[in-house]
Amino acid sequence: MVLEITETDLWKKFLETHSPELREELVLRSVALVHYLLGRLGISQDMGTEYEDLAHQGLLGLIEAVDRYNPSYGTKFSTYASVRIRGKVLDYLRSSDWMSRGARQRVRTLQNAITSLWEKNQREPNEDEIAQHLGIQVGVVQQALMDANRVVLSLDSLMVNDKEGDLSLYEVIPDDGQPDPLELFSNAEMRDRLADAIRLLSEREQLVLSLYYMEELTLKEIGKVLEISESRVSQIHAKAILNLKAVLKDG
């Protein structure tokens, strides 16, 4: 009986020999990670050729991770590779400017409306109120939320004071499994503000954020848990992030 070589042994042999065959084996073993992370970014195979392009970028990130990984740093390969894969995909999305100007304007209009309604009512607006405020149909609001989700998820950032990329939810929600005292100290005030803001959201939005950022489920998996469509999860996630932006804007 032939026993399959463990990943630890495989890495040890690869680092000793830099064998192309072992390199290929390490890449193949982690291809599923690429598709998982695309799902985490709300990118589904229904997108067709666009999905294939993004999967290719993720694969390039995976290959770079294999070439540059050093086990002596004490970080698991999957953790290191995830950063490389996501970075490659997000860089591609930014550089390709894939979202139309009209879609971006709809997102900006939606954000302004949510911010105005928060300031007026001091509570989270529902989709009907947003539609009435803008003088549009609820369906148009939901489409704008879909556009917004692609912006939020592709950049994975919480925009504060209209500056993109200032703050990532991954950076301000602590991971108990990998504590970083310096980072926790420097972000303590922002985490407290964010926690207070999250408590102002609806229970469903809080649950979606928890399942996505803490449990690390994909949008599709969250949809199965909540028994709603993936597109609806996408809308709820976007609305949660836009609400957080509105609450934190003047903080």
Output the pLDDT for position 160.
40
| Strand pairing report for 158-160 and 163-167 | antiparallel
Q: Which distant-in-sequence residues (6+ apart) come within 8 Å of 111 by Cβ?
A: 148, 242, 245, 246
Output the pLDDT for position 153.
52
Q: Which of 37, 63, 96 finishes a domain? A: 96
Full residue range of the structural domain in which residue 89 is found: 7-96
Please check whether residues 133 and 80 belong to one and the same domain.
Answer: no
**Residue given tokens 């084996």 in the structure block:** 25
* Distance spanning both ends of the chain, measured CA to CA: 64
- pLDDT string in tens for the chain (251-residue length): 345 678 888 998 999 999 999 999 999 999 999 999 988 877 777 778 888 999 999 999 999 999 999 888 788 999 999 989 988 988 888 777 666 677 778 888 998 999 999 999 999 999 999 999 999 999 999 988 887 876 655 434 553 444 444 334 443 443 444 444 445 444 677 778 888 889 999 999 999 999 988 888 888 899 999 999 988 998 999 899 899 888 887 55
Q: Which distant-in-sequence residues (6+ apart) come within 8 Å of 205 by Cβ?
A: 124, 236, 237, 239, 240, 243
Please check whether residues 148 and 27 belong to one and the same domain.
Answer: no
Output the pLDDT for position 32.
94
Q: Which of 96, 111, 145 finishes a domain? A: 96
Output the pLDDT for position 162.
43
Output the pLDDT for position 133.
95
Please check whether residues 13 and 112 belong to one and the same domain.
Answer: no
C-alpha 174: how far from its chain's center? 15
Output the pLDDT for position 187.
64
Do the beta carbons of residue 60 and residue 88 sit within 8 Å?
yes
Q: Please tell me the pTM assigned to this model.
A: 0.69
**Residue given tokens 């997102």 in the structure block:** 107
| 117 found inside a domain | yes
Output the pLDDT for position 23.
94
